[in-house]
Structure 1
């Protein structure tokens, strides 16, 4: 996983292929964090290539699963992708909210590359929101984390985004300093500058009058091999090149670039750059004194601009609606899931819930997690209660036992009390060693025996036999642990009942 996530910052197409192949190999065999993390990585690659609304919906669903199962790293990656989606559709507030959450959830044990990626995402969102000082600080943090990482392209992206953020804020001295660092890094590493960075560098060169250098940066976008491979960034660069030629009086060249840019934008559905191309066309007609054509082009630009704004608003609304529907569906699903995993009589969890959560807890233990204690509990002579009174009285006893067991595990974070069937129960105490388990379960046995049963069973006592097991001492897998607890429960019954057996 670390190798594929790293490849994302080297060659995204290679990362995409590797992630898709691994996902296909896993198939239905993996329904956990691994497959979902691969899906989120695939979404991060495709975010500029497909419907962002569908990506947001899919990632939101995975985020819900990650929150349910405590998968913090997966949560962070989901928020990172959602932040990028909302940055794309112009919702800066939500982009910033997701970027902040992605960073808050990121553990310091994460690789420097992934921490740098999260810092960059946050810096981008802060810069868009106008918090330049905070954005600079996060960009610097990100660069420090990957200062000795020559293999990936993340340093170039960070410097490019820093330069563009300063440029938008009209801080041209700072923007030029970032560009110089970017160009110097490229020369030092003998690495080609990407099309998006070329666009940024050229725009900043133009503001300081370095026209020839800006032109050389942008001319690459006229190469069909380059522009077809990177249509979005090439279209942006061609708009800048057309503007350069127009301002420099080279109007014929400006028109050639405009035609090329319009063709790329139309073929690739790049409505934003098609709109910008129309605006540049109007400016070029005006520079040629073709005021009638300039007016027509401006009118067309205004229509496109209005349509683009409406389209972006519609996209934001569609994404938010899809995410809302997903969240509502998840809440409804959670409600039915909760009902399906509860015993209706006692309100305790059932065997289905135990099988899933005990398995996960033991998996974490095998990966170096904390100890875990379980107890099998069986009510002594329960049949006598049903025979002496009625099944309704027996149900009252079971409900009372349910309340006692809930109180017993309440003090242990993540503690689980479950009814396995009939008068048999299971308790699970995470992060509990043998000594702590002895204290809790011995106290539980006394609590059941000392409970005021008179209002329910009159003079008939209610006691329980309890068998305890602790992982990893008694086993690291569900079957081993429950077998040990069940054996000790049997010993407790054979030894006279109303007692707790720990070993």
Structure 2
């Protein structure tokens, strides 16, 4: 990897380890990483750039569908290239997609798979993010105590790493989980611990943390504390692009605090401010919550007609919001379906590109891709057997009968090759392929030399004894076979070269023969 690519990889890593992104900067970096990775043939950098693009897109509801398309493709490609860390990241991001669709079971599945895939050398921040994703999914599926245990595990990782910022994220989310589950006292204890941690570091809580604290204090009926927390919240500079609803939520929390204190005029003033700050379709959920608070405030003041009107408006807003969410979820599902269909088409095309059109066997491209990997698992004690099978005097068949008959002969021989390869099992297997013209390849893994030679000899006899009269009349059809063995660190070209030399030895010895052995010492010739 060149220096520029290394620098890009480090920059991408920094963004992968952050909850908060400068979305514009992230998009620029992602595009550069993807382009550079493709240019220098660094697949991992290219795909990490694409994952960063998906992360940015996931932060906007309207682009979740496009993020889904990218992630579904990345899920396949990361597995194809065995990029375990990227696979884990993709599953964590897909858990967010599932959450956006309201499919919490799928969210849990992806979050769990992401954590299981995460390698031991992952940084503390990455591990914390995965633990938090799983905790959130457990919370969504109403497994509160399991969620809390995951949050606590993430908290311990953060404390061990001395990462106060991430520890504060973890404890805040755990406190909200407990609050939402109706356990306000435990939630308040968690927030007290969070505030003490931040104070010891001389840090201030983020606006979202203050909002969580104020809501918990309201649930505990600590009204004055809630008002003071809400005032701190409103005073905060809330320009976080990942939390655009922050200012409106702060004003709404302030209204709720004043309402609980009985300061209805102040509550209405704060609520009017929340309504003003929540203008725009992207804050529809806040708008609905403002209407609900307005209905409750009118009811407290005794204006029941106004309370009914506000509640009716809240109900209509909630229905519209649910409808929009269902439409958005449908778009995400459609994007996932389109991607799955496209991937199936791509897989079918890839499969077709690795097969010979005439015989249906694997082709030379497949051989070049798979043979090196098989050689790495072979040993001197149990070498990989590679046999080249060539049809004897094939030109005579074409010239005497026709190329169409010749093709039928090749198809029949292709069907006879299969029994030479053992059924797939632990340490055994292989494949057959057509190298081109009348040449075929049989690859056998995991068998002793005697078994390999026996299988190939049976193959030679099967071809010789096949009822060729229906195709070639009195013209016989036989094959010559050259076999060789290879193991790590032999190159596939060397092993194929040995098999090819043994094939020509078989032809020079009179054809319809098997020559070679796996120990690569002498040439053995057999005939019927």
Aligned residues: 487
* 2:30 is aligned with 1:4: no
> How big is the alpha-carbon RMSD for the aligned residues of Structure 1 and Structure 2?
3.5
CA pair 395-301 structure 1, distance change in 2 beyond 3 A: same
Residues 441, 500 of structure 1: 8 Å contact kept: no
Give 5+ residue unaligned stretches, structure 2.
1-8, 470-475, 508-513, 521-528
Aligned ranges 1:393-408 → 2 under 5 Å: 394-403=406-415, 405-407=417-419, 408=421
Q: Given the alignment, which residue of 439, 442, 460 partners 1:424?
A: 439
Aligned ranges 1:240-255 → 2 under 5 Å: 240-255=253-268
- Post-superposition CA distance 1:198-219 (Å, at most 9, x none): 2212211222233344334333
1:465 partner SS: strand
2:456 partner SS: helix
1:451 partner SS: helix
CA distance in 1, matches of 2:45, 2:157: 25
- Post-superposition CA distance 1:390-419 (Å, at most 9, x none): 655644553354345544164357844332
Residues 380, 462 of structure 1: 8 Å contact kept: yes
Residues 393, 457 of structure 1: 8 Å contact kept: no
Aligned to 2:309: 296
CA pair 390-38 structure 1, distance change in 2 beyond 3 A: same
- Post-superposition CA distance 1:192-241 (Å, at most 9, x none): 32222222122112222333443343334434842464323443333222
Shift of 1:179: 1.5
Aligned to 1:19: 30
The 10-residue stretch of structure 1 (299-308 or 249-258) with the greater mean CA deviation from structure 2: 249-258
Aligned ranges 1:117-136 → 2 under 5 Å: 117-136=129-148
Aligned to 1:464: 481
Shift of 1:127: 1.0
* 2:203 is aligned with 1:196: no
Residues 72, 106 of structure 1: 8 Å contact kept: yes
CA distance in 2, matches of 1:85, 1:160: 22
CA pair 111-333 structure 1, distance change in 2 beyond 3 A: same
CA distance in 2, matches of 1:418, 1:290: 83
CA pair 145-463 structure 1, distance change in 2 beyond 3 A: farther
* 2:54 is aligned with 1:74: no
CA distance in 2, matches of 1:43, 1:356: 30
Give 5+ residue unaligned stretches, structure 1.
476-480
CA pair 85-203 structure 1, distance change in 2 beyond 3 A: same
CA pair 399-200 structure 1, distance change in 2 beyond 3 A: same
Shift of 1:271: 1.0
* 2:510 is aligned with 1:495: no
Residues 234, 250 of structure 2: 8 Å contact kept: no
CA distance in 1, matches of 2:389, 2:462: 16
Shift of 1:33: 4.2
CA distance in 1, matches of 2:357, 2:414: 11
Residues 259, 267 of structure 2: 8 Å contact kept: yes
CA distance in 1, matches of 2:168, 2:54: 22
1:463 partner SS: strand
The 10-residue stretch of structure 1 (303-312 or 94-103) with the greater mean CA deviation from structure 2: 94-103
Aligned ranges 1:444-459 → 2 under 5 Å: 444-451=455-462, 453-457=464-468
- Post-superposition CA distance 1:146-198 (Å, at most 9, x none): 33223474322221221111111111232122222222222233333222222
CA pair 270-30 structure 1, distance change in 2 beyond 3 A: farther
Residues 348, 419 of structure 1: 8 Å contact kept: yes
Residues 217, 225 of structure 2: 8 Å contact kept: yes
CA distance in 2, matches of 1:86, 1:339: 33
CA pair 2-101 structure 1, distance change in 2 beyond 3 A: farther
Shift of 1:463: 2.5
1:170 partner SS: coil
Aligned ranges 1:344-383 → 2 under 5 Å: 344-356=357-369, 361=373, 375=386, 377-379=388-390, 381-383=392-394
- Post-superposition CA distance 1:242-270 (Å, at most 9, x none): 20112112334333432333333224721
* 2:188 is aligned with 1:176: yes
CA distance in 2, matches of 1:34, 1:413: 35
Q: Given the alignment, which residue of 162, 168, 174 partners 1:156?
A: 168
Shift of 1:304: 0.6
Aligned to 1:341: 354
Residues 378, 464 of structure 1: 8 Å contact kept: yes
CA distance in 1, matches of 2:41, 2:229: 47
Aligned ranges 1:262-341 → 2 under 5 Å: 262-267=275-280, 269-341=282-354
Shift of 1:421: 1.0
1:206 partner SS: helix
CA distance in 1, matches of 2:384, 2:203: 56
Aligned to 1:96: 108
CA pair 392-37 structure 1, distance change in 2 beyond 3 A: same
Residues 434, 440 of structure 2: 8 Å contact kept: yes
Aligned to 2:48: 37
User: What is the TM-score when the length of structure 2 is the normalising length?
Assistant: 0.79
- Post-superposition CA distance 1:424-455 (Å, at most 9, x none): 344667xx6xx868577545533433435322
CA pair 16-85 structure 1, distance change in 2 beyond 3 A: same
CA distance in 1, matches of 2:219, 2:453: 78
CA pair 485-82 structure 1, distance change in 2 beyond 3 A: same
Residues 53, 67 of structure 2: 8 Å contact kept: no
